[in-house]
Every structure is written in C-alpha cells, then in structure tokens.
C-alpha cells in the first residue's frame, strides 16, 4: 500500500518541521509505504526531518535539464532530495493548461532519471455526466504514456469533481474506473501493465480510507487536505489491510 500526501500550495518551512515532529511519532510502526509531497522550497527540510522510511516527492518537474526556463525545476535538481514525482495532477492540467503531450515529456524525463512517477488521471464532472469517463481516462493514459519505457510507475485516479469537495467517488465508481485503468495499462504494456499500482485520490479522509483501501485494484491513496494534518494523515497511513 502506498499512502501518499500531496500538500499542494500549503505549509511554510516551520510548518513542515512541526508536521514531521508530530507525524514521525505516529507512523513509526506502520508497514505501509508513506510518501509526502511538499512544495519545492520545503522539500529539503522534509527530507531532513521526516523519518528515513518516509518517501519524499515533488508535485511537478520540468522536462529540460537546464537553460532559459525561468521558474522551472529540473529532474536532477530534485534528485538529492526526492524519490517520487507527481505528474499530470488536475491542478496542473486545468489551472496551468498542461496537455497530455507536455505531461508525456515530463514522465519520460523523470523515468529516465529513475524516479518513481505518479501519473494522475481523472475526468471532470461534465465529462462524467456526458458518459466520457472511460474515453478521457484512455486518452490521458495513452497520450501521457506514449513511447514511455516502463520503469517505476504508479497511476492515481483522481476524479476532478471529488478533489477538495468533500465528495469522494462511490465504491462502484472507484471499482469501475480502476478496473478500466488496469485494462488500459494492460493494453499499453502487456503483462507488465497489469502490475502497475493504482491509487485513488479525491476527498480521502480517515473516515473513508479503510473502505476505499479495501476495494479491488486499489493499491493506495493520494490524499490532499487530510494529509496536512499529522493526526489525520497518520490515521490513514496506519491502515492495515
């Protein structure tokens, strides 16, 4: 099980240190893999203050190594601090207009440097209501993973309408989407595709994590809001299957 926290644009340096002071004590015995993804300036502190067994990740990266790309961060700049990179989050797709083609370049750059990549996919409410969920997921997966030599890849299914809304997807929605993602990954990568772990994200909280984590083809969760609170995130991270 991978229990991942995406802090988005939250927490200062001091808040990052304070979080781990409390969180470390609460998760010292868990068997799950735990990942925390702070914003760039807090990544080194997170690496320093988190227990060694906690993985640290970035929320984005640029695909070029160096040059005239003001405001961007490269894969090798992250290498000393991070193990994971989250790519294609719906915030990036919808608020920063990232296309599948751009995400594809980022996935390739991160994989080339041996990062664990968490590729996020998910449909908007409009797309769901017009029965386009499967075609959107298929297009996002196929284009974002085009020409990718498979290495350490996780997929996060994050229906956009369930993010930060308090409305998590129903059991049936999650089962259906995860099974469709598995089928698509198998089409793209054969047997290897079947083994790619799939996380669910969207209003995961201590109260619903147990049920979500018990569903078929759910190999972990990607948590936003609840990962900011050390007690709530530890409750999710300590889940036993």
What residues contact residue 6 under an 8 Å CB cut-off, 6+ apart?
37, 59, 86, 89, 201, 222, 223, 224, 227
Contact flag: residue 225 with ligand 13P (CB under 6 A)? yes
Query: How near is the Cβ of 164 to ligand 13P at its closest, in Å?
Result: 4
Contact flag: residue 57 with ligand 13P (CB under 6 A)? no
Looking at the Cβ atoms of 95 and 240, the one nearer to ligand 13P is 95
Binding residue for ligand 13P (CB under 6 A) from 159, 201, 220, 230? 201
Looking at the Cβ atoms of 111 and 221, the one nearer to ligand 13P is 221
Binding residue for ligand 13P (CB under 6 A) from 27, 45, 87, 223? 223
Contact flag: residue 38 with ligand 13P (CB under 6 A)? no
Choice among 98, 123, 127, 158 that is catalytic:
158
Q: Total number of residues binding ligand 13P (CB under 6 A)?
A: 14
Could you confirm whether 158 is annotated as catalytic?
yes
Contact flag: residue 122 with ligand 13P (CB under 6 A)? no
Could you confirm whether 239 is annotated as catalytic?
no
Contact flag: residue 155 with ligand 13P (CB under 6 A)? no
Query: Mask 70-99, x = binds ligand 13P (CB under 6 A)?
Result: -------------------x----------
Contact flag: residue 159 with ligand 13P (CB under 6 A)? no
Query: Which residues are marked as active site?
Result: 89, 158
Could you list the residues that contact ligand 13P (CB under 6 A)?
6, 89, 158, 163-164, 201-204, 222-226
């Amino acid at each position: 099980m991978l229990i991942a926290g995406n802090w988005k644009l939250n927490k200062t340096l001091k808040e990052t240190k304070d979080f781990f002071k409390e969180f470390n004590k609460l998760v010292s015995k868990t068997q799950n893999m735990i990942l925390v993804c702070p914003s760039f300036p807090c990544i080194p502190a997170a690496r320093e203050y988190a227990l060694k067994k906690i993985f640290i990740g970035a929320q984005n990266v640029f695909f070029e190594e160096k040059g005239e790309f003001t405001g961007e961060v490269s894969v090798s700049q992250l290498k000393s601090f991070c193990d994971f990179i989250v790519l294609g989050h719906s915030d990036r797709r919808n608020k920063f207009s990232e296309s599948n083609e751009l995400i594809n370049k980022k996935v390739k750059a991160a994989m080339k440097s041996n990062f664990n990549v968490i590729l996020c996919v998910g449909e908007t409410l409009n797309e769901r209501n017009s029965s386009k969920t499967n075609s959107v997921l298929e297009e996002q997966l196929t284009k974002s993973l085009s020409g990718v030599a498979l290495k350490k890849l996780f997929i996060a299914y994050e229906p956009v309408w369930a993010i930060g809304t308090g409305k998590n997807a129903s059991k049936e929605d999650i089962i259906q989407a995860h099974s469709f993602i598995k089928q698509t990954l198998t089409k793209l990568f054969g047997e290897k595709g079947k083994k790619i772990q799939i996380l669910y994200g969207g209003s995961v909280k201590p109260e619903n994590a147990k049920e979500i984590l018990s569903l078929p083809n759910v190999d972990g969760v990607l948590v936003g809001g609840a990962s900011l609170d050390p007690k709530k995130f530890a409750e999710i991270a300590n889940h036993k299957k």
